[in-house]
Amino acid sequence: MDLRRQYDGIREDVLAAIARVCDSQSFILGPEVEALEREIAALTGAASAVGCASGTEALWLALVAAGVKPGDSVITTAFSFFASASAIVRAGATPVFVDVDPGTLNLDAVLVGRQLRTKRLENLRAILPVHLYGQCADMDAFDRIVKEYAKENAKENTEEYSREFGVAIIEDAAQAIGAEWAGRGAGSLGAAAAFSFYPTKNLSAYGDAGIVTTIHPEMAEHMRQLRNHGSPRRYYHDEFGWNGRMDAIQAAVLRVKLAHIADWNQRRRQHAATYDQLFAGSGLTSEVTSNRSSNQLSAPVRLLSRSPQAKHVFHQYVIRAQRRDELRKFLAERKIGSEVYYPLPLHLQPVFSYLGLKAGDLPVSELAAKEVLALPMFPELTEAEIRRVVESIAEFYS
């Protein structure tokens, strides 16, 4: 990834935005953050957005505002960045890891449904799907699952009851700004959604920053309080919050970049189509499959599957590769960057050993961790560079 190419195109605007904040001498929250919140709410189709310190903070705010508390359980994917699960722990709850779909590597809704039918979870409060690599998880299926669960478990199945005591869907949309599911924006598909503006994300700050969106304005008010020490007014505290506020300089930079995000995401989709085409012509790839029983690679490279309902924003372009680590080394020797997201599934991380899961328990995630490889992907990438990546991969397997 070459961030400098992006910077070269927007340098004047970014520096002017930073100067505007310096001239205002207003550095935390304030008008820049409020303007960004309105703009992100409009982009995603959510009712409100709450700017905060990072994507990790955004996840925690969403969980706590959705009512997740000590003693609760939250279902999430075993194949994601650590924060998807650590935010659950920080909210005092227990993550329940479920395996991923072999085609998309997103949380498998069929397995979640099966788990809920066969095993009663203590105080299930939320389901946290991750829109991995920029493609939305199957939000229709999670919606159905939550409604069925509420029907079976609620004493009174009223809208109010399930808002108060039911199971909330929290989107981890850290990698999915601008993505859509069935024409609706990521960030408006569950009760709340967390976005990260980490410098390598599709929409990125010049430091750490994040935002939570929600379809419930009263949840937004709660999150505004939580991000500021649980304080409804200065030096009065109703609950334990934290300092999770966003800096005005980050908001100002993000607002400059937000004007470009539709174009940048479109360019990422074009690059993905070029990769797809070149792989199809290379003879390296096998059919994409979502069949759980044929999860083994039959050709050197396998592409991930794309849900027809999803408008992908290709935060990453990821392949599954035989002899992945050797391939990675081969590419590095040719100065082609690649990365493994993620080399160890969450249920096998030492810090989660207290959950009692072991190797073999979530086989799709475990195999994916051995095979996935993210190839160069950013808007300013050239077709010639993409060609060189695919040709180098073909050379490795020849």
Question: 23 φ, ψ to 5°?
Answer: -65, -35
Write the interaction track for ligand PLP spanning residues 27-56; mark x where CB under 6 A is met and - where it is not: ---------------------------xxx
CA distances from 148 to 111, 145, 167, 169, 286 (A): 15, 5, 10, 13, 37
Helices (H), 166-216: none
CA distances from 116 to 11, 164, 190, 256, 354 (A): 51, 20, 19, 44, 21
Residue showing tokens 């075993």: 78
Name the residue nearer to ligand PLP (CB basis): 198 or 264: 198
Tell me the residue number closest to ligand PLP, measured at CB: 55
317 lies in the site for ligand PLP, by CB under 6 A: no
187 lies in the site for ligand PLP, by CB under 6 A: no
Listed residue (255, 245, 249, 257) closest to 50, CA to CA: 245
Cis peptide before 342 (omega within 30 of 0): yes
Question: 357 φ, ψ to 5°?
Answer: -85, 155
76 lies in the site for ligand PLP, by CB under 6 A: no
Please report how close the Cβ of residue 81 comes to ligand PLP at its closest, in angstroms.
Answer: 4
Pairwise CA distance, residues 264 & 89, whole Å: 34
Listed residue (316, 337, 373, 352) closest to 82, CA to CA: 352
Name the residue nearer to ligand PLP (CB basis): 84 or 307: 84
Write the interaction track for ligand PLP spanning residues 77-116; mark x where CB under 6 A is met and - where it is not: ---xx-xx--------------------------------
Name the residue nearer to ligand PLP (CB basis): 83 or 126: 83
- The token pair at 91 is 């909210």
Name the residue nearer to ligand PLP (CB basis): 55 or 103: 55
Instruction: Determine the interface stretch with ligand PLP among 11-19, 76-84, 211-219, 297-305 (rule: CB under 6 A).
Output: 76-84
Write the interaction track for ligand PLP spanning residues 154-173; mark x where CB under 6 A is met and - where it is not: ------------------x-
Please report how close the Cβ of residue 196 comes to ligand PLP at its closest, in angstroms.
Answer: 3
175 lies in the site for ligand PLP, by CB under 6 A: yes
Write the interaction track for ligand PLP spanning residues 110-149; mark x where CB under 6 A is met and - where it is not: --------------------x-------------------
Please report how close the Cβ of residue 198 comes to ligand PLP at its closest, in angstroms.
Answer: 4
Contacts of 206 (CB under 8 A, 6+ apart): 14, 199, 249, 250, 253
Name the residue nearer to ligand PLP (CB basis): 250 or 285: 250
Pairwise CA distance, residues 213 & 193, whole Å: 5
> Bridge partners of 98?
77
Please report how close the Cβ of residue 350 comes to ligand PLP at its closest, in angstroms.
Answer: 20
Q: Which residues bind ligand PLP (CB under 6 A)?
A: 54-56, 80-81, 83-84, 130, 172, 174-175, 196, 198, 208, 210
